[in-house]
């Protein structure tokens, strides 16, 4: 068992004697850690016995231990719940991805899952671990334009109440300075907003892994709601409206999460105003070009023995299409 001095040194290593707030957090970390040493020892043992993460807390990212002592992930989460979330996430992760891939995600720079070859629309999608985003999850899917971040999801894998692997979205964040860039990219994606585009990619990611359930944090369940008095640190952006626009529904099995459809339904000819039909046609043809390459890159991360059945087949993933294929299914003949 680690000594009391170990936890004090960890607390000082994470926070440092920089100011009153950091000193206070160091003390809180220390008190909570020594009061829950058995749970910390469980965390250490889990990572020691998990080859891709062995030594991670000691040499690469000691700050990750803050997940144990602060109320992250969802409202009023306990240390036991957060430790379970860590163990479940990494257990599921190793069912999907090879050890080398996991090490590159958490020790290295992650992976580019898709990159536009269009110099006029230089988008890039990356799967990474960003330690600064650990409050809401343990993986992130980022959308960049050149090196400018547009949007990213923070999420984690966990078991749902049925005991099945599921994907839990902790937040969707956009660039504070990216409003004009977002408008520009929306035009280049034929009216497809970047936040809808990255949600679409996360859904395809979910489908490709064979995961059937996708959940998104509710505004009420956001972790900052754990404290009555938080001043200007409270959550300012509502996501519930966006989730509901995308088909989110309440589910009795999840107190703090909406259940999201894992598919995005394409609008068809009769559902689209005539003035917008060509715009939607171009958008869907663009997705038909992007998605097969994106799926191929996701599959490159899989363990050799992981061959999931996709939980859904998106229309864009179907590469063999008839010569007269039209993504919005225009009538063959019109008067």
Between vectors from CA 250 to CA 91 and to CA 253, what angle results, nearest 5°?
45
Question: For residue 184, what are the contacts with CB-CB under 8 A and spacing of at least 6?
Answer: none
In a shared domain, residues 165 and 312: yes
- Global pTM reads 0.94
Secondary structure E strands in 202-320: 214-217, 249-250, 257-260
The confidence band for 22, taking pLDDT boundaries of 50, 70 and 90, is: confident
Q: Could you read off the pLDDT of 281-290 as tens digits, one per residue?
A: 999 999 999 9
- Tell me what pLDDT residue 283 has: 97
Q: Which residues of 200-236 are buried (b: 16+ CB within 10 A; e: fewer)?
A: bbbbbbbbbbebbbbbbbbeebbbebeeeeeeeeeee
pLDDT greater at residue 117 or residue 37: 37
Domains identified in the chain, total number: 2
Distance, CA of 34 to CA of 24 (rounded, Å):
16
Checking if the pLDDT of 17 tops 80, the result is no
Q: Which of 66-75, 168-177, 228-237, 255-264 has the lowest mean pLDDT?
A: 228-237
Q: Which residues of 139-165 are buried (b: 16+ CB within 10 A; e: fewer)?
A: bbbbbbbeeebbbbbbbbbbbbeeeeb
Checking if the pLDDT of 37 tops 50, the result is yes
Backbone φ, ψ for residue 218 (5° rounding): -80, 160
Q: Note whether residue 273 is domain-resident.
A: yes
Return the SS3 of 334.
coil
Q: Could you read off the pLDDT of 302-317 as tens digits, one per residue?
A: 999 999 999 999 999 9
- Tell me what pLDDT residue 229 has: 46
In a shared domain, residues 23 and 171: no
In a shared domain, residues 27 and 106: no
In a shared domain, residues 187 and 271: yes
The confidence band for 235, taking pLDDT boundaries of 50, 70 and 90, is: low
Q: Please give the residue range of the domain that contains residue 290.
A: 99-317
Q: Could you read off the pLDDT of 61-113 as tens digits, one per residue?
A: 999 999 999 999 999 999 999 999 999 999 999 999 999 999 999 999 999 99
Q: Note whether residue 284 is domain-resident.
A: yes
Are 262 and 203 in contact by the 8 Å Cβ rule? The answer is yes
In a shared domain, residues 28 and 154: no
Are 195 and 175 in contact by the 8 Å Cβ rule? The answer is no
């Amino acid at each position: 068992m680690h000594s009391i001095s170990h936890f004090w040194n960890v607390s000082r290593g994470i926070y440092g004697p920089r100011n009153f707030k950091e000193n206070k957090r160091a003390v809180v970390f220390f008190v909570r850690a020594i009061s829950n040493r058995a749970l910390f020892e469980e965390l250490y043992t889990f990572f020691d016995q998990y080859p891709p993460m062995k030594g991670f807390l000691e040499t690469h990212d000691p700050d990750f231990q803050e997940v144990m002592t602060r109320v992250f992930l969802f409202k009023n989460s306990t240390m036991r719940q957060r430790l379970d979330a860590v163990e479940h996430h990494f257990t599921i992760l190793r069912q999907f991805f090879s050890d080398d891939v996991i090490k590159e995600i958490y020790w290295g720079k992650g992976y580019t899952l898709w990159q536009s070859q269009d110099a006029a629309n230089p988008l890039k999608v990356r799967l990474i671990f960003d330690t600064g985003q650990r409050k809401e999850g343990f993986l992130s899917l980022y959308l960049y334009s050149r090196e400018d971040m547009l949007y990213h999801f923070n999420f984690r894998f966990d078991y749902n109440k049925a005991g099945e692997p599921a994907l839990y979205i902790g937040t969707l964040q956009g660039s504070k300075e990216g409003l004009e860039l977002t408008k520009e990219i929306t035009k280049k994606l034929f009216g497809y907003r970047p936040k809808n585009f990255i949600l679409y990619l996360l859904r395809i990611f979910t489908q490709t892994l064979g995961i059937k359930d996708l959940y998104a944090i509710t505004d009420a369940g956001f972790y900052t709601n754990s404290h009555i008095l938080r001043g200007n640190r409270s959550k300012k952006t509502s996501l519930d409206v966006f989730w509901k626009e995308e088909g989110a529904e309440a589910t009795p099995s999840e107190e703090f999460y909406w259940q999201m459809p894992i598919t995005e339904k394409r609008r068809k000819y009769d559902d689209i105003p005539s003035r917008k039909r060509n715009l939607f046609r171009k958008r869907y043809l663009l997705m038909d070009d992007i998605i097969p390459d994106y799926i191929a890159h996701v599959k490159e991360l899989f363990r050799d023995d992981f061959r999931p059945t996709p939980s859904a087949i998106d229309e864009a993933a179907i590469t063999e299409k008839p010569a007269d294929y039209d993504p919005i299914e225009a009538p063959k003949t019109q008067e």
